[in-house]
Structure 1
Amino acid sequence: MTVPLIPSRPESLPEVHRSVRVPNAGGFLRKLLAFVGPGYLVAVGYMDPGNWATALAGGSAFGYTLLSIALLSSLMAILLQALCARVGIATGRDLAQLCRERFPAPVAYPLWLLAELAICATDLAELIGTAIALQLLFGIPLLFGVMLTALDAFLILWLQNKGIRWLEALIFGFIALIFGCFAIQIALADPDWGAVLRGYIPAASIVMNETQLYIAMGILGATVMPHNLYLHTALVQSRDYGRDLDGKREAIRFSSIDSTVALSLALLVNSAILITASAVFNTAGRTEVAEIQEAYQLLSPLVGTGAAATLFAVALLLCGINATVTATLSGQIVMEGFLRFRLPPVLRRLITRLVAIIPAVLVTWFYGTSGTAQLLILSQVILSLQLPFAVVPLMLFAGDKGRLGTLTAPRWQLALGWASAALIIGLNAKVILDLIIQE
């Protein structure tokens, strides 16, 4: 098969590039609605099955304590995604394209491999989560469900052919349903709201326990997610905004509002998972609940109604399907941006899923359902370890006055962004050091 090459300066996501019209006239709300959408596609990644595993493990084991990590991670994500919107709009390039153009090959190609690893780790969590949801709702064996998830490539192709607005509308609808499911679950769980609010305040002992740190890094990786940084820099270019300075400033403003609101909603969903786990399992003394299947089985007797378990499984299925969209788009952006060649979306999706299916099948075959939680959490820790290799390039481009000119990020954003990068690198180093010491 001949691989179709891409021009030296291609458009990012050419199928949807500048496909959404932005009105020249009209009020604030009308213009904002034209930019609403990319933020929700990005937010989907922050509520995928990997988040479920880390939130369930953290909530059942440590109560509401790790809510502070979820909040801190979300604030980092909001800041970094605002910088992604700025870089994508100001340069007209996505993060992968910028890395290819600005870094030498010995740097760019390892960054590509690490980005692909992050996408595969994300895909691993999605396929396991979707397979578990199919098992819980329809009784489909887990191993068969893992194989069945490969078929979602055709769903993605159909959605892409319908256009970016159709894709955004479907994703938004799914997010609304997920939010509704958890709103009902929290009402049924009846948590201690005073303890919930205190959980958002960082505790001094948060990193003194190695298990807490490991799960906290999983939450961080599941929330910020390196591939979403590549994704957002491309998605913001689907809007046909003015290419002059004022048009770009307006686009940065509205895109930042879009992503901030969407990620705030994602924080509520992530918090809801952890709050439910804490209120139902930790309060009842079930501090070892980490498997999604075990959580599903315990919800009904502990909450007192079967509806809680059903809503739990429905929300999980929607999260798995939702996150599949962003993984597919991210894979396309990373491959085309770094390597400058394009594969058909279905083929690209099947390759990514095949890489993720192999470890999932092996774990399912040898350990059954008992190994899925460890694999899900590990996949999110891998994402955390990959984060610096996306965040540091993003920060370099966000502060590049030669490239962005007057659109360079404000000093306070750069200061907070670099502080976030330093914190992520430091925590990753601590996790690696702990693992070495344990060996």
Structure 2
Amino acid sequence: MEAEALSSEQVKNKMEAKRLSTDNPPGFLSRALPAVVPVLLISIGYVDPGKWVASVEGGARFGFDLVAFTLIFNLAAIFCQYLSARVAVITERDLAQICSDEYDTWTCLLLGIQMELSVIMLDLNMILGMAQGLNLIFGWDLFTCVFLTATGAVFHILLAVLLDIEKAKFLGQFVAGFVLLSFILGLLINQSEIPLPMNGILMKLSGESAFMLMSLLGATLVPHNFYLHSSIVQ
């Protein structure tokens, strides 16, 4: 009898909570924040100086020849991020758990190696991009810039490990927001002129631009971000 009374009391409390939530629906801000926070965390994988260096160098050397390819790469990245988040929300599992359940050990091992290589290339891209930026701003030699950038990256990881998960997330969001704001302010201050005539050709590939195209592809499609996105949205 006591268990039945307790069960009925729990049902009553749930119904009361549901009625209160229906009477007082959450505002726009409370509904938007759960979606904005994962976006800021995921944007860290896309907003970094290495990708800017690849994009700026491609535009400076080849003009508008790679614009269409870059647009296709970005649309593909957005679509893959959307699919990874969608699958995680529907299945209530991230991509790593799904791969572990659906694939054999060797396939999972190959996917793990792919993710590690993706992370390594992303870090290398970021370090080289920041080192080149320090070299252009302060005129230091490239070895010193690479050493300082790599040291800063290691200390950032150690700081994130020492902090708890919430503070680490806040730190990542702050860094992403600061970098994005700096990029926007740089564009506004620079006010570079965009020539109107583009000769009507947005897809022109040559031997030299093919290497730059591969760099843009690697800077845009980052597989490990798909796993991270599917884990964060849960």
User: Above 0.5 in TM-score?
Assistant: yes
Q: What is the CA deviation profile of residues 165-207 of structure 1, one whole-angstrom value per residue up to 9, with x for unaligned ones?
A: 554244223322222222322x1x2222x247x78x743xx23
Secondary structure class of the residue paired with 2:129: helix
Partner of 2:108: 108
Q: Match of 1:223, as an amino acid?
A: T
Higher relative contact order (CA 8 A, sep 6+): 2
1:164 partnered with 2:189 = no
- 2:157 aligned residue: 153
Structure 1: where are the runs of 5+ without partners?
Answer: 1-22, 238-439
**Structure 1 position 90 matched with structure 2 position 111:** no
SS of 1:101's partner is helix
Q: Alignment partner of 1:56: what SS? A: helix
How has the CA–CA distance of structure 1 residues 42 and 195 changed in structure 2, closer, same or farther, with 3 Å as cutoff?
Answer: farther
Change (3 A) 1:218 1:110: same
The 5 Å alignment of 1:319-358 reads: none
In structure 2, do the counterparts of structure 1 residues 69 and 130 end up closer, same or farther at CA, with 3 Å as the change threshold? same
Residue of structure 1 aligned with 2:232, choices 235, 246, 253: 235
Paired residues of 2:94 and 2:227 also in contact (CA < 8 A): yes
Residues 65, 92 of structure 1: alpha-carbon distance in 2 compared, 3 angstrom cutoff: same
> How big is the alpha-carbon RMSD for the aligned residues of Structure 1 and Structure 2?
2.7
Deviation at 1:234, TM superposition (A): 0.9
Match of 1:142 in 2: 145
Determine whether 1:45 maps to 2:81.
no
Q: 1:122 to 1:25 in 2, by over 3 A?
A: same
Q: 1:182 aligns with which of 177, 183, 187?
A: 187
CA distance in 2, matches of 1:121, 1:181: 26
Amino acid at match of 1:182: L
**CA spacing shift, 1:156–1:179, aligned 2, 3 Å:** farther
> What are the Cα deviations for residues 18-77 of structure 1, in whole angstroms up to 9, with x where unaligned?
xxxxx9822445412332121222223223233233223311221122122221111111
Following the alignment from structure 1 to structure 2, what is the Cα–Cα distance between the partners of residues 217 and 147? 24
| Code of the aligned partner of 1:225 | V
CA distance in 2, matches of 1:123, 1:88: 26
- The Cα of 1:135 is off from its aligned counterpart by 4.3
Mapped to 1, the partners of 2:130 and 2:159 lie a distance apart of 14
Q: 2: CA distance between counterparts of 1:163 and 1:144? A: 24
Identity of aligned residues (%): 31
1:217 aligned to 203, 206, 214, which one? 214
- Tell me what 2:18 maps to: none
Change (3 A) 1:223 1:91: same
CA distance in 2, matches of 1:172, 1:159: 20
Deviates more, 1:126-135 or 1:96-105: 126-135
Quick one: distance in 2 between partners of 1:58 and 1:73? 14
Native 8 Å contact 1:94 1:230 kept in 2: yes
Task: Point out the structure with max Rg over C-alpha.
Answer: 2
Shift of 1:92: 1.9
Deviations 1:412-434 (A, max 9, x none): xxxxxxxxxxxxxxxxxxxxxxx
Residues 34 and 118 of structure 1: CA distance in aligned 2, closer, same or farther (over 3 Å) = closer
2:15 aligned residue:
none
The code of the aligned residue for 1:148 comes to T
Deviations 1:210-245 (A, max 9, x none): 2222212221221121111111111112xxxxxxxx
Distance 1:90 1:31 in 2: 18
Alignment-mate amino acid for residue 181 of structure 1 = G
Q: Which moved more, 1:63-72 or 1:170-179?
A: 170-179
Asked if 1:62 corresponds to 2:62, the answer is: yes
Question: In the alignment, what sits opposite 1:25?
Answer: 25
Structure 1 counterpart of 2:225, one-letter code: N
What does residue 36 of structure 1 align with? 36
Assess if the C-alpha contact under 8 Å between 2:51 and 2:126 holds in 1.
no
Supply the AA of the counterpart residue of 2:173.
E
> What's the secondary structure of 1:45's corresponding residue?
coil
Deviations 1:322-352 (A, max 9, x none): xxxxxxxxxxxxxxxxxxxxxxxxxxxxxxx
Alignment of 1:234-253 (within 5 A): 234-237=231-234
Q: 1:118 is paired with a residue of what secondary structure?
A: helix
One-letter amino acid of the structure 2 residue matched with residue 58 of structure 1 = G
* 8 Å CA contact retained: 1:134, 1:145: no
Give the residue type in structure 2 aligned to 1:92.
E
